[in-house]
Amino acid sequence: MKQRSLDEIIAHFRAGGFVALLDAPQREGEADLLQAAQFVTGQSLNFMVQYARGLITVAMIPESLRELQIPLIPPRFAAENAPRFAVPVDYKPAITTGVSAFDRAATIQALIDPQAAAEDFARPGHVFPLAAAENGLAQRAGHTEGAVALARLARLYPAVVMCEIMAPDGTMATGEPLAAFVREHDIPLATVQQIQQAAELAD
């Protein structure tokens, strides 16, 4: 597998490509497959469903969720570092059941559409927004914050589709199974720490 520089990874992401983002071993030590929300299609979402296999979410900044009146789900009995889930939604004007890859892609595109209104989104639905911490990676060094920071480094809209990468046997892909995944699909791999360091330099 060719090792790519962070500049190459950012350029690849800016062009609409997938990036695998690995968090620190002391957190989960797992990777999510990312694509900038503005590039998502039914086909790319289906790839995530078929090959990454985990839960599909959309990392967003809190302001965007507030504008669409999509509330956060109050945590209860959750781990201290748990992601901040918002109420799941469907974009009513463009979906049938809401669960197909194409319906979910339509909902994701609507989440970043400035013409979309709060009342266009049925709640609950099939797309799970996640709110990044208000202070980003400085506050929480998770996949959600790393994904939003990567979008900003790539000068894209700060919303990113994410899917945890699972191995074919249903366990989380770490170590060699993760290396095999990115190698097989020629997907560049970055770490949350790399993104955080680049974001700090960019500030």
In CATH terms, the superfamily for domain 6-73+85-198 is DHBP synthase (3.90.870.10)
Instruction: Band the pLDDT of 2: cuts 50, 70, 90.
Output: low
The pTM of the whole model exceeds 0.75? yes
> Where do the structural domains in the chain lie, given as residue ranges?
6-73+85-198
pLDDT in tens, 109-156: 999 999 999 999 999 999 999 999 999 999 999 999 999 999 999 999
Beta strand 189-191 pairing with 19-22? parallel
- Could you give the 3-state DSSP secondary structure of residue 38? helix
Q: Is the bond preceding residue 124 a cis peptide, omega within 30 degrees?
A: yes
The amino acid occupying position 188 is P
**C-alpha distances out from residue 188 to 10, 70, 100, Å:** 10, 32, 27
**CA atoms of 16 and 74, how far apart (whole Å):** 33
Average pLDDT over residues 9-35: 92
